[in-house]
Each structure stands twice: as C-alpha cells, then as structure tokens.
Amino acid sequence: MNIVAELTVKALRDHAGDACPHYRQALISACKKSPPPFGARGYGDIYRDAATDPYWLATSLMTNAQREGEGAEHLWDLAACTPDARIAWQIRQHAIDESRHSRAYIAMLDLVFPGAVDEEFHAQLTTLSPGYTRQSSLLPQDGSPYAHPITVDELIQMNIAEIRTRVHHLLQRPMLLAHCPADRRWYACSIPCCWTKPVISRTPQP
C-alpha cells in the first residue's frame, strides 16, 4: 500500500474505526494509480533539509497560519451557500477547525521561536484567523468567489489538502522539536503531531 494511503487509513481507523469503507478503498486505489508526490522519499528529504534553517521553518509556520485562515474563510462561504444541511454543517465545522489551526500555528511559532517577531508584527499575525465559532453568523462574504454550493471536485480537493497537511505535520514535528528551546521542549512534545480528520464524514451534531 502507498505510504500516504497507509498513513491516512490508519488515521481514519484511529478516529472512526471501520467507518468510511468506500472512502478508504477509493483512496488506496487512487494512491496506487497516481502516487502523491508529497509521499515520496525525496519530498521528505527536501522538506527536512529546508527545515534545518530556523528562518525557513518560522516563515513556514507563519505562511501556514495565513493559508489556514484564508482557507477557513473560503470554507465558511461554501458552507453558507451549500443547500444540503448535513454537508453544510460539516463544511462549517471544518472552517471552525481551520480557524483554530491558524491560531495554533502562531502558538507554535511563539513556543519554538520565542521573540522571532516584534509585538507589532505579532499583533498582525493574530488577525490571520477569522476566529469562527459555532456562534458565528453563517453568511458569505460579499463578492467571494467561494459563495456557491460546494462541488464534488472541491470536496475531493479538500480531502487531498488535508491528507497533504497530515504528511507535512509528520515531517514538521521532529524539526520543530529540534529547534525548540530545551526548557520548552516538554510542552512541545505534548502537541499532537497532526490534527487531520476526515473532512466530510462526521455525523452532524445538534
């Protein structure tokens, strides 16, 4: 089995047992037919080589925070315009998760690279997350290109992105620990290596 499929299937089983059998089989078949480049050994080698540079890794955390925040906004617009209530609920929850992840990347920056940015810039970084909660009004942004019902292609792309993020987290964790100050490492070790879950597979909650 392709390594990306293997890691993802294991995560799915840890999270949801034997649920989503068709999803698992489709993923295994797709990865066998077209192996994802982010699962290649060379990809990991390039990432680890780049991440030995603390400036690159710190910048990567900030870039990820920005992308998670922007992704959360796009998901929110999609959720607001998707008529299927079950799917809309799950997209909305995913947007809330992405919003939190944006803040988590900045928290990791503060933990591993304390004082890397000045207070003024740090204040700007904290605005990258839209701060969505379940109490936030589900309304699309005016003029957003994502203000439309979600498509199957977007659901597929969303899942691919989450799988890639999981691989990145597995690569990222040991590099963050290597750069982390010794007196903070105990806390860094308690941070989950990844937060990826199935995107459209959860049961809506009241």
What is the reported pTM?
A: 0.89
109 within domain boundaries: yes
23 within domain boundaries: no
Count of structural domains within the chain:
1
CA distances from 124 to 5, 63, 72, 128 (A): 37, 13, 17, 7
Q: Tens digit of pLDDT for each residue in 172-195?
A: 999 999 999 999 887 777 665 544
pLDDT value at residue 205: 41
Over 80: is that where the pLDDT of 203 sits? no
31 within domain boundaries: no
Q: Tens digit of pLDDT for each residue in 136-173?
A: 999 999 999 999 999 999 999 999 999 999 999 999 99
Over 50: is that where the pLDDT of 202 sits? no
Domain range enclosing 60: 54-188
11 within domain boundaries: no
143 within domain boundaries: yes
| Six token digits for residue 27 | 């993923």
Q: Tens digit of pLDDT for each residue in 66-100?
A: 999 999 999 999 999 999 999 999 999 999 999 99
